[in-house]
Amino acid sequence: MPDILVNGVRLSYTEQGSGPETIIFSHSYLLDSRHFDPQIAALRGRYRCIAYDHRGHGRSEVARSGYEMENLYRDAVSFIEALGCAPCHFVGLSTGGFIGLRIAIRRPEMLKSLILMDTSADAEPPEARKQYRLMLVALRWLGYRPVVGRAMPIFLGPKFLQDPSRSHEVRQWRRRMMANDRQAMIDFANGIFSRESVFEQIDAIQTPTLVVVGEKDVPTPPEKARRMVEKISGAQLKVIPNAGHLSTVEEPAAVNAALVAFLDSQG
């Protein structure tokens, strides 16, 4: 995987496919860009598909600082500019969606369209922050094993977790979570969970927008997606049946169909 120095950090990325338009994929906390593999496989025949790993994740640099939400936004903007991708289609899931919203509000000229997946324009709810704070204390002192056991049903829906034919995938994503640098995940979590709300600003978004959410998403349930759709002019909503927070992995065919239909409508 190539990497590039942007905003003081080396970000690793994959690039597949070609075409006159580029899609940037921005992933969820605690995972990496590989959770977009099914979408890239479906779209690389017509688009230049670039998926990057956030600082501290995957193969990107484990930076000593810079995990605040505003700096993650600057990472993304600098990355897009460095690779000459603008205006691009931006696909962001969870943390990637937090970033995509901020780009659409502040730098709309960089986007051709915006796809928000399993994400929210709101600040982290106080009750969730309390729960996550306890998990981070456990991560610091006890390591990944007890924390990942709690995190799996937050990230993944019951259908996926309970399907015997997909147990190898469950184990694979568990291993990938546990492969991350522990301190980087603590710092990253503190950065994104303390983010400010941008909900009151999203009515300024004029970029064509699709909001995708898993029916069983726990951290960012469908009502959060509907609130964004009601606030963003012309936004479309697609609820993915049976999927949890990691809808791209759990129900890839349904997600791919939604993305293809939306992107085709932008021609």
The predicted structure's pLDDT at residue 146: 87
Alpha helices in the chain (DSSP H): 37-43, 69-82, 95-106, 126-142, 144-155, 158-162, 167-178, 182-193, 222-231, 247-250, 252-265
Taking alpha carbons only, the member of 51, 72, 52 closest to residue 63 is: 72
Find the CATH number of the domain harbouring 162. 3.40.50.1820
For residue 53, the 8-state DSSP code is: P
Q: Residue 5 and residue 9: Cα distance in Å, rounded?
A: 5
Q: Residue 90 and residue 27: Cα distance in Å, rounded?
A: 11
Q: Residue 115 and residue 49: Cα distance in Å, rounded?
A: 14
The predicted structure's pLDDT at residue 60: 98
For residue 27, the 8-state DSSP code is: -
- Helix orientation angle between 144-155 and 126-142, rounded to the nearest 10 degrees: 150
| Burial classification of residue 8, based on how many CB atoms lie within 10 Å of its CB (0-12 exposed, 13-18 middle, 19 or more buried) | middle
Residue 65 tokens, joined = 């600082």
User: Digits of tens for pLDDT over the chain (267 positions)?
Assistant: 899 999 999 999 999 999 999 999 999 999 999 999 999 999 999 999 999 999 999 999 999 999 999 999 999 999 999 999 999 999 999 999 999 999 999 999 999 999 999 999 999 999 889 989 999 999 999 999 889 999 999 999 999 999 999 999 999 999 999 999 999 999 999 999 999 999 999 999 999 999 999 999 999 999 999 999 999 999 999 999 999 999 999 999 999 999 999 999 997
The predicted structure's pLDDT at residue 52: 98
Q: Residue 163 and residue 85: Cα distance in Å, rounded?
A: 39
Length of the chain equals 267
Q: How many domains does the chain have?
A: 1
Taking alpha carbons only, the member of 149, 170, 191, 147 closest to residue 56 is: 191
8 Å CB contact between 110 and 103 = yes
Residue 225 tokens, joined = 């997606």
The boundaries of the domain holding residue 86 are 3-265
Q: Residue 45 and residue 64: Cα distance in Å, rounded?
A: 38
